[in-house]
Chain A
Amino acid sequence: DSGVTQTPKHLITATGQRVTLRCSPRSGDLSVYWYQQSLDQGLQFLIQYYNGEERAKGNILERFSAQQFPDLHSELNLSSLELGDSALYFCASSVGGGAETQYFGPGTRLLVL
């Protein structure tokens, strides 16, 4: 158990819908990262928040957005869902914002039908 929690574990929804994925970092960690893992794209970095502020952005679609709240939990919002958005979405956390160990949560498996 890494100490990072994610909900829900599984999500099944239809194309065009909107979903919200939630992540709680390890106690004391200020940074939260979101990654997408699909069969053909591997592990892709989406976005990072550090202490409530966006710190880095990867190949995140405009239909996707995220935020980090004052209690440091984070939410990833996925809208206008397409079949290709089906993937495992992982959240990771680290103590600070530099080059340091990232601990991954158990992931949310999203299936878009």
Chain B
Amino acid sequence: GENVEQHPSTLSVQEGDSAVIKCTYSDSASNYFPWYKQELGKRPQLIIDIRSNVGEKKDQRIAVTLNKTAKHFSLHITETQPEDSAVYFCAAQKGGGNKLTFGTGTQLKVEL
């Protein structure tokens, strides 16, 4: 089955800096890649997603890039703010099989 690896497990940046989180997936049939943000004890919230027919997608300070050949995708957060502090999960999904396979999460801490 699909396996998603996520790095780093923890990331500490200064406010205003950029943060990058990377994921690799194993199943070349995966075609949908969402990113979720989860604050402590709360539900995962979708922040951005990308499909396999697109190489990059941006939404204000957040962007996601996808390299299908290398089977990896990355989340980029620019001008980080303290409220960006949370755990971020990447995930991969195949069109025919509908479960999301999640990465192990990245604890992002934005320091003042």
Closest residue of A by beta carbon distance from B91? A43
Name the interface residues of A43-93: CB closer than 8 Å to any CB of B. 43-45, 48, 50, 55-56, 58, 88, 90
- Alpha-carbon distance between A107 and B101 when the two chains are bound, in angstroms: 18
Provide the main secondary structure of the chain A interface.
Answer: strand
Of the candidates A35, A45, A107, A109, the one having the most CB atoms from chain B within 10 angstroms of its own CB is A45
Range for the number of chain A residues in contact with chain B: 20 to 34
Using a CB–CB cutoff of 8 Å, the interface residues on chain A facing chain B are 2, 31, 33, 35, 42-45, 48, 50, 55-56, 58, 88, 90, 94, 97-107, 109
Name the interface residues of B27-51: CB closer than 8 Å to any CB of A. 31-32, 34, 36, 41-46, 49, 51
Stretch at the interface among B64-72, B78-86, B92-100: B92-100
Closest residue of B by beta carbon distance from A55? B98
